Chains A and B, each alone.
Chain A
């Protein structure tokens, strides 16, 4: 995950997360993969994103314990899933659900150019 051989594992994870949320406009750190979430909270966010029709990258934190802990530290957020849009931390499943239900999530994605207005 790193070019620097002497980088600490924490720094390497940090760099991986930073790069991922920079390279991809919508990133969901989740348990399992989008086609097969392994947690109800992750599944809920996948369903919301699918419903809105936005492309996103799912990163399965269960594949790597260092990543699972690292993303919590990176975001200062103790739970998974975690949604990033345009490099910005949006929240976990409660916040995504609230923003979807209140109609705030779609305009945010439209405003960032990630979803066509419809």
Chain B
């Protein structure tokens, strides 16, 4: 994870942060633009903001399985997924499941 840096706040990233904050009031929210790692792939765009890795920790996910959790997040970001966002890598956790460390690789 050491080579991943949050880029300057882009429009798409900003919108993802706003929508997830409004939908889930997360205790932890990390939105990382990975687009630079996917340059030249199908789906990558000029100016990036096509590939994101999101970690979202919220009470709303407690007791839910992985698929329903991701469906909730995908629904909150439906507009972005239909538009500029080509790939979204998600870690969706309840508060006590989050160790605070980096995502396991």
Contact = CB atoms under 8 A, between A and B. Distances in A.
Interface of A: 31, 38-41, 76-79, 89-95, 98-99, 101
Ranked 4 nearest A-B pairs via Cβ: A78-B81, A95-B66, A94-B90, A78-B74
Interface of B: 38, 41-42, 66-67, 70-71, 74, 78, 81-82, 87-91, 104
Nearest to A41: B87
Given A79-B87, A79-B88, A95 B70 contact: yes
Given A94-B70, A95-B66, 13 more contacts: A39-B42, A76-B71, A77-B74, A78-B74, A79-B81, A79-B88, A90-B67, A93-B89, A94-B89, A95-B67, A95-B70, A98-B91, A101-B104
Contacts of A90: 67
A98 B70 CA distance: 13
B6 to A, nearest CB: 19
Contacts of A79: 74, 81, 87-88
Contacts of B38: 40
A91 B88 CA distance: 13
28 contacts: A39-B41, A39-B42, A41-B87, A41-B89, A76-B71, A77-B70, A77-B71, A77-B74, A78-B78, A78-B81, A78-B88, A79-B74, A79-B81, A79-B87, A79-B88, A89-B67, A90-B67, A91-B66, A91-B67, A93-B89, A94-B70, A94-B89, A95-B67, A95-B70, A98-B66, A98-B91, A99-B66, A101-B104
